[in-house]
Structure 1
Amino acid sequence: MNQLYELLHEYRVIESERLVLRPLELEDAQAMNQYASDPETTYFVFGTHKDLAQTKHDLAFYFLKEPLGKYAIVEKESNRMIGTIDYHSINEATKAAELGYTLHKDYWGKGYMSEACETLIKVGFEKIGFNYLSAMHDVRNPASGRVMEKAGLHYLGVLPYHRMDNKDPLRPVDDAYYHMTKEQFFEKRDKK
Structure 2
Amino acid sequence: MDKEYLFALHDHIDGERIYLRHVLLKDAEDMHEYAKDEETTKFVFDRHESLEDTRKNIAKYFLSSPLGKYAIVLKETEKMIGTIDFRIEETHKKAELGYTVNKDYWGKGYATEAGKMLIQLGFEVFGLQRIFAFHDVRNPASGKVMEKMGLTYEGHYRTNRFVKGEFVDDKCYSIIKEDYFSE
**One-letter identity of the residue aligned with 1:34:** E
Q: What aligned pairs does 1:162-181 form with structure 2 within 5 A after superposition?
A: 162-166=160-164, 169=165, 171-181=166-176
Structural RMSD (CA):
1.0
- In the alignment, what sits opposite 2:27? 28
Alpha-carbon distance in 1 for matches of 2:163, 2:57: 19
Counterpart CA distance in 1 for 2:147 and 2:182 is 17
Q: Secondary structure at the match of 2:92?
A: coil
Superposed displacement of residue 165, structure 1: 3.1
Q: Deviations over 1:61-104 (max 9, x none)?
A: 1111111111000001111000000112x212122111000000
Match of 1:95 in 2: 93
Shift, 1:176, TM fit: 0.2
| Matched AA of 2:146 | M
CA distance in 2, matches of 1:20, 1:75: 7
Counterpart Cα distance in 1 of 2:3 and 2:93: 7
SS at match of 1:130: coil
Q: How far apart, in 2, do the equivalents of 1:8 and 1:178 lie?
A: 23
Q: Which amino acid aligns with 2:138?
A: R
CA distance in 1, matches of 2:91, 2:41: 32
Partner of 2:14: 15
User: Mind listing any 5+ residue stretches in structure 2 that lack a counterpart?
Assistant: none
Alignment counterpart, residue 119 of structure 2, candidates 118, 121, 127: 121
1:49 match: secondary structure: coil
Contact 2:44 2:163 in 1 (8 A): no
Q: CA deviation at 1:127?
A: 1.6
- Work out whether 1:4 is the aligned partner of 2:23: no
Residue of structure 1 in register with 2:138 after alignment: 140
Match of 1:79, SS? coil
Letter in 2 for 1:133: I
Q: Distance in 2 between matches of 1:72 and 1:64?
A: 12
Identity of aligned residues (%): 51
Aligned length: 183
Return the offset for 1:164: 2.4
Say whether the 8 Å CA contact 1:4–1:129 is kept in structure 2: no
